[in-house]
Amino acid sequence: MKIKAALSNGAEAPFELAEVELDEPRADEVLVKLSAAGVCHTDLTMKALWPQTMSPIVLGHEGAGVVEAVGPDVTGVRRGDRVLMSYRSCGACQECAAGHRTYCRDFRTLNALGSRPDGSMTMRRGTSPVYGSFFGQSSFASHALAYESNLVVVGDDVDLSVAAPLGCGVQTGAGAVLNVLSSHQRRGARRVRRRRRRPVGRHGGQGRQGEHDHRGRPRRG
């Protein structure tokens, strides 16, 4: 089918809006009509670093839209579902099984080859290949081919332009705060509690508890 996409032709060239041909969904693929897409710094970094020999490419990895068609093996989403797209994961490796899908052993193969894992392209312009399958979506386009592992169905009341950046930027930031920063804070708080208990023991026998502050200095007043 014919779609519109923003092609990246290298670091210096501006994005080019063009009509390209997108494959019909394969058995495990989901065709999503985009309503919104976030722009993450990874898109811009990849635009700057992506090899010229593998250009043009359609970037974009924070898409949200409505499912238009699904392949026969897809069971988790249906036509008409409103979805946001994130990164792909295999669901079967050790990291995925432990719940750490971001560290999927096949992450690069599934998200950053510029093609499907089998090397086939999802898009072309005339007879020339257009690289894509970026994070299993390439969402800088009117339509994208995605997969069950990188789709989240959202409710009818969710604004899709708000849902889109949840796929990468927001969840990455939230993960940094909830999993890293808060655990540092918990460790810091434990250290402070240990320090506060110490003076009583360190100055044991020199005075009653309460006569020194938490650093062991004599209390004034």
Name the minimum Å distance from CB 122 to Zn ion: 20
Name the minimum Å distance from CB 57 to Zn ion: 15
Give the angle 132-137-140 at the CA atoms, nearest 5°: 75
Name the minimum Å distance from CB 105 to Zn ion: 5
Helices (H), 36-112: 41-49, 94-97, 107-111
Contact of 191 with 174, CB cutoff 8 Å? no
Using CB under 5 A, which residues numbered 27 to 46 contact Zn ion? 40, 42
d(CA 24, CA 27): 10
Name the minimum Å distance from CB 54 to Zn ion: 20
Pick between residue 142 and residue 149 the one whose CB is nearest to Zn ion: 149
| Site map 72..111 versus Zn ion, x via CB under 5 A | -----------------xx--x--x-------x-------
Pick between residue 88 and residue 199 the one whose CB is nearest to Zn ion: 88
Element at 201 (helix H, strand E): helix 182-202
Cβ density class 28-48: b for 16+ within 10 Å, e for less: ebbbbebbbbbebebbeebbe
Using CB under 5 A, which residues numbered 164 to 183 contact Zn ion? 168
What pairing do the DSSP bridges indicate for beta strands 29-37 and 143-147?
antiparallel
Applying CB under 5 A, what is the total number of residues that bind Zn ion?
8
Using CB under 5 A, which residues numbered 124 to 143 contact Zn ion? none
Pick between residue 101 and residue 143 the one whose CB is nearest to Zn ion: 101
Contact of 63 with 164, CB cutoff 8 Å? yes
Name the minimum Å distance from CB 184 to Zn ion: 23
Residues lying near Zn ion in the complex (CB under 5 A) are found at 40, 42, 89-90, 93, 96, 104, 168
